[in-house]
Amino acid sequence: MSQVGRISGWSLAIIAIGLLGVSLSLTSVAFAQDAESATTEATEAAGVSDAPPVEEEVVVEEEAEAGSEVGYALDNAILFLCAVLVLFMQAGFAMVEVGLNAAKNTINILYKNVMDLSVGALLFFVIGFGLMYPGSYKEDPNPYFDFGGVGIYAPSEGQTFSPDVDWFFQAVFAATAATIVSGAVAGRMQFKAYLIYSAILTGIIYPISGYWKWGGGWLTQFDGGLAFQDFAGSAVVHACGGFAGLAGAIVLGPRLGRFSSDGKSVPMPGHNIAFAALGVFILWVGWYGFNPGSQLAFQSAADIDATTFIAVNTTLSAAAGVVAATIVSWIMFGKPDLSMSLNGALGGLVGITANCDCFSNMWAIVIGAVSGVIVVAAIVALDKLKIDDPVGAFPVHGACGVWGCMAIGFLPNTHLDGGSTSFMVQLIGTAAICAWAFVTMMILFVILKGIGILRASAEEETAGLDISEHGMHAYPADSLAPAAG
């Protein structure tokens, strides 16, 4: 065989061996892939998941936990801001009371407002919060009266709110109830007597009746699943303060010169209507913490829709209260009375507080308009009864607070339509809270009067409580001239 033939033979042999090797390799890979596929199918059939799905589940859980933390933060941040708005209402109350009273009592009124908040915050921390929300401290509290403990309750797993922000929100509500009385007793009550009253109302009286409704007490436990409805406190806060103020005004008696010897009413205009108007605007703004804040949940679309709906109802009711009070006072007195209109705004705000979540926008206007009429009528009625309420605290907070809760019992609203309350339930709840505040405070004021520390002397009242109680004047010019008005 030639050399070329031998080379070609060896070449063919090498090529054949190479092809055989490649074929065997591909066959091995194919078998390996089939085996891996079979193993995977067997694993999946056995219910064992691969690593990637486990990682995906971990990511989903982490995202859910992060979303829950964001929602918790949002709820607590907004509730905190709402509490600050309610706290700012103290400035509004101070301006209204100062503006509608004599200049010689300015420091006394401002001092009482500062002490309402300060004493109230301390006592609500020590005892009031535990009385109002005992169920947050322990299980199965008595539905009429119980005490959870001193201070703020401990945090728990899965809680909706921080206990601290919960306390803060409720504490400023308590201070609001106490401040309402300040206007009703202005100009003639001794400072030390007022401090005693403020401490007892904020630390004991308000928390107990507040527990009946907001703490899960007996007003939420009627047969058939019915419950007294008071969304943000027309009765729990405002009527409580209004009826306490009425008791104080009755026991104290009117200011010197408020009624003539033959019983005729003698107007005693406030010294600065601009202050009063500014105070009403501040209160109106603060009410957006009071009512929308009582939604207590803000992280979902439905929560925000409810919150803004409540804000709209609050606005419409206040506006209707102003217009109605203006029309009625204009008809009755021949000229529009700004003080009546300002109280009409506050009456509309109080009237809608219980029901801002359950009435339609149109019915919110009705609530406000009726509130404006009630304010004017109640002010005139107190005059006829010779009860002196310098700022209209009872007409605004007491009378309109009752109206706001009772309206739920017979006008079309979601609570009544849904069968969660009735006229009788609303009547029982409203009467219980009002009677509790009126009777307990009447007893307290009578005791203070009996021991001689309730009312300032005629000389002190004439000079003004600023100089007689505190030894100072609010306005420098007053120190150079005799006290007036």
pLDDT value, residue 58: 58
Residue 8 pLDDT > 50: no
In a domain, 45, yes or no: no
pLDDT tier, 476 (very low <50, low <70, confident <90, very high otherwise): confident
Contacts of residue 155, Cβ cutoff 8 Å, sequence gap at least 6: 162, 163
Name the least confident of 63-72, 293-302, 343-352. Answer: 63-72
Q: What is the pLDDT of residue 60?
A: 55
Radius of gyration of the chain (CA): 35
pLDDT at 157: 83
Compute the distance between CA of residue 394 and CA of residue 243 in angstroms, rounded to an integer.
Answer: 7
164 assigned to some structural domain: yes
- Lowest-confidence range among 15-24, 133-142, 247-256? 15-24
Residue range 9-33: mean pLDDT, rounded? 39
Residue 16 binned pLDDT confidence (cut-offs 50, 70, 90) = very low
- Between 423-450 and 240-252, two packed helices, what is the crossing angle to 10 degrees? 40
Report whether pLDDT(35) > 80: no
Looking at the DSSP assignment, which residues form a beta bridge with residue 259?
265
Judge whether 321 and 372 are in contact, CB under 8 Å. Answer: yes
Query: Would you say residue 163 has pLDDT above 80?
Result: yes
State the pLDDT at residue 68. 76
- 356: pLDDT strictly greater than 60: yes
Q: pLDDT tens, 182-236?
A: 999 999 999 999 999 999 999 999 999 999 999 999 999 999 999 999 999 999 9
Task: Tell me: pLDDT of 440 over 90.
Answer: yes
Mean pLDDT of 293-297: 95
CA distances from 300 to 165, 184, 297, 323, 443 (A): 20, 42, 8, 35, 47
Under 8 Å between Cβ of 324 and 373: yes
Q: Is the pLDDT of residue 101 over 90?
A: yes
For residues 109 and 269, what is the distance between their CA atoms, to the nearest angstrom?
16
The tens digit of pLDDT for each residue in 304-354 reads 999 999 999 999 999 999 999 999 999 999 999 999 999 999 999 999 999
User: Measured between alpha carbons, how far is 264 from 402 in angstroms, rounded to an integer?
Assistant: 29
Q: Is residue 355 part of a domain?
A: yes
DSSP string, 116-154: HHHHHHHHIIIIIHHHH-GGGTSSS--SS-----SSPPP
Q: Is 215 domain-assigned?
A: yes
Task: For CA atoms 281, 283, 288, 292, give the dihedral sign.
Answer: negative
Please give the DSSP secondary-structure letter assigned to residue 482: -
Q: Which residues contact 406 (CB under 8 A, 6 or more apart)?
A: 423, 426, 427, 430
Q: What share of the chain is helix, strand, coil (3-state, %, to 5)?
A: 75, 0, 25
* 139 falls within a domain: yes
In a domain, 148, yes or no: yes
The pLDDT mean for the chain works out to: 88
Q: Is the residue at 455 inside a domain? A: yes
> Residue 66's pLDDT is what?
54
| 310, part of any domain | yes
Query: Which is more confidently placed, 147 or 31?
Result: 147
- Token duo for residue 49: 């998941």
Residue 105's identity, in one-letter code, is N
Residue 367, domain CATH: 1.10.3430.10
Residue numbers of the domain that contains 123: 66-476
Q: CB of 405 within 8 A of CB of 230?
A: yes
- How many domains in the chain? 1
**Higher pLDDT, residue 161 or 27:** 161
